[in-house]
Structures are given as structure tokens and as C-alpha cells.
Amino acid sequence: MTADPVQRVHIRDHVVLPGAAVDEWLTGWRTDYLPAARERGLRLTQWWRSYAGPDTVAVDMLWEIEGIYTFYRARTMAGADASVARFWARTDELAVHRDRRVLEPYPLEPGMLEPDRPASADHASSAAEPQRRKS
Amino acid sequence: MTRWVMRTAPDEVTAQPTGVREWSGGADLQGSLRGLGMNWDFRAEALPSALAGTDAVALQPISSGHRPLAGKRVKRTLMLRVRPGTPEDVVARFEAELAAMPELIHTIHSWALGGADPTIPGASTAWTHVFEQEFTDLDGLTGEYLLHPYHWTRVDRWFDGENPASIVEPGPAHLIRWAQGAVLR
């Protein structure tokens, strides 16, 4: 198997809830979601609360998991666990908005933030190259 | 003549049925998911009676690309079902993102994205889409294909039941086998 080129995959969950429901949702999250997520290899590294409006609160959670193959394995485990689907179904009944993004680390290199340095766009440039005929 | 893909138990099909062209098949390789033992490709106007009752999908082409590859190759077939009621514009975006994968992931040789045609008698109604690729070897599939960030930071969300953007029902069949020559022409 090819060596995993990424040491950490990050997953960001963004859930906007009615303000009055946040504490109860977090209690359910701690008991019904977090333990199995840890067993799948997910580590919660940071989380935030912020007002999304006068009566809504956003909860942002940043997870990390060791590598892309482990990420796929965790996905498969979550898909086979009915309690995960139940938890998100309950959340989606309550949530005003929800989003999940999976993020590739973009390591900072010396000088990268200097204004005269051209941006690296490895992925964007490869996307623009015509590679084959479509029919 | 309609293209078909099919999964069967190892002893379910023993010979090429009459009226079938471009017939090829092989044993599911380790790493396949929800295979029944063998997977097959062929062309036929209608499903031959010898194959009645199998999980055979009649394909309506959506998009494809051809990149010549000599000799033996790994054929990968992904059968999936998009959740009923998914808006058409969302399905179109999903199809476009799958079709963009070969532009970015250079281990994919020829490929095809097809819709399942359930109106042909005997055709499977279990799936809505089939995404197929050919690779030089297994490493092209388990390496660059899985590891490319376009795959896991973007396309994977359609399949991730934890992601509110997902539209693919749980349980797609991911079938891989060796093929002696070109399957996707």
C-alpha cells in the first residue's frame, strides 16, 4: 500500500442550534457520539461556541485523525454504526444549519506569508491541465 | 447495444450466454466491498434468460473518457444508489464532481459514469449510478485514487453518512477485478 502522505486529516463540524437547545444537545453529544468517535480514531482538538444570531448558537468542532487511510476506515466504521446515523438524524431535526468539511493540512513554510511570494497552487494547476479526451 | 455490469456468486454463471458481446469477468479481488464473488461486463440488447435473477445493471452513459492502456488492467466498478428525492441539480453536481476525478487523479485510465436504466426487463433496480475505472495496477486504486485530496476533501462528502451533503445511500458495492484487456472502450 502507498505510504500515507498526510499525517493529520482534520474534520470541522459546524452546527447551528437554537440557543435554548445547545446545552442539552452537547450533553447528548458527549454521551451518544463522542465515545464511539474516539474509538474510530477521532480526537477533538478544539471547539468553539459563538452566537449565530440573537437566538441561535453555532458550535464548531475541530477533529483530527491520523492519515487518510485511517480517515476512510473511520468513515466505514461510522457507516456501520446505526447509533451514529441516529445521532445525526436527531441533530438535524433540531439544527438550523449543519456542515462538515474535511480539511487537508497546508503547512506553513518559511517565507510563505511574505507578500511578494507567488502562491503555491499545485492542486489548482493540475486541475487545469487537460489530461484526456472526454466522450 | 446496451452495456451491462453484473455481480454474481462464483458459480452462478458458468459460460458466456448467447447474444452477449464484449463478455468479460473475474473474481472480486481483496478490498472489494459487497461483492458476491464475481463481477462482469458485457453488451447485450436485452438481459439473456441465462442471467435472469442476477444483479445486472443496464447502463445509460452519462460521461466517459478513454485513455489507452495495453494489456492486463484492474477494472473497478462502483454501484451506488442516490437517495430518492434528491434534487436534480444536486445529482447533476454529484455527477460532474465524479466525472472530474480522472482530470485530477492520473492513475485513472479509461472511465465511465453511467445511470442505471431500470426500465429494461430484468435489469437491476437496486442502483441508480455506476462509476467505472481502469487502473494499471492495484496501487493506482489504493494509492493515488484514495489519497488524492480531491477525493477525500471534496468527493467523499457525497458518500459520508455523517455529512449533511451526502446523497448516496449506505452500502455501495465496490468491485475490483483483473481484466485481460480493455473493458471501457
Give me the mean pLDDT over the A70-99 stretch.
96
Whether B102 sits inside 8 A of A131 (CB atoms) is: yes
Q: Does residue A7 or residue B51 have the better pLDDT?
A: B51
Specify the pLDDT at position A119.
62
B-chain CB neighbours of A124 within 8 Å are none
Q: Which residues, at least 6 apart from A51, have a Cβ–Cβ distance to it below 8 Å? A: A19, A57, A58
Query: Is the alpha carbon torsion for A78, A83, A89, A95 positive or negative?
Result: negative
- How does pLDDT run across B104-125, given as a tens digit for each residue? 999 999 999 999 999 999 999 9
Q: Which amino acid is at B41?
A: D
pLDDT band for A123, please (50, 70, 90 cuts): low
ipTM attached to this prediction: 0.90
- How does pLDDT run across B16-67, given as a tens digit for each residue? 999 999 999 999 999 999 999 999 999 999 999 999 999 999 999 999 999 9
Q: Using CA atoms, how far apart are residues B110 and B138, in angstroms rounded to an integer?
A: 15
Window B:47-76, CB contacts with A under 8 Å: 63-67
Asked if pLDDT for residue A4 goes beyond 50, the answer is yes
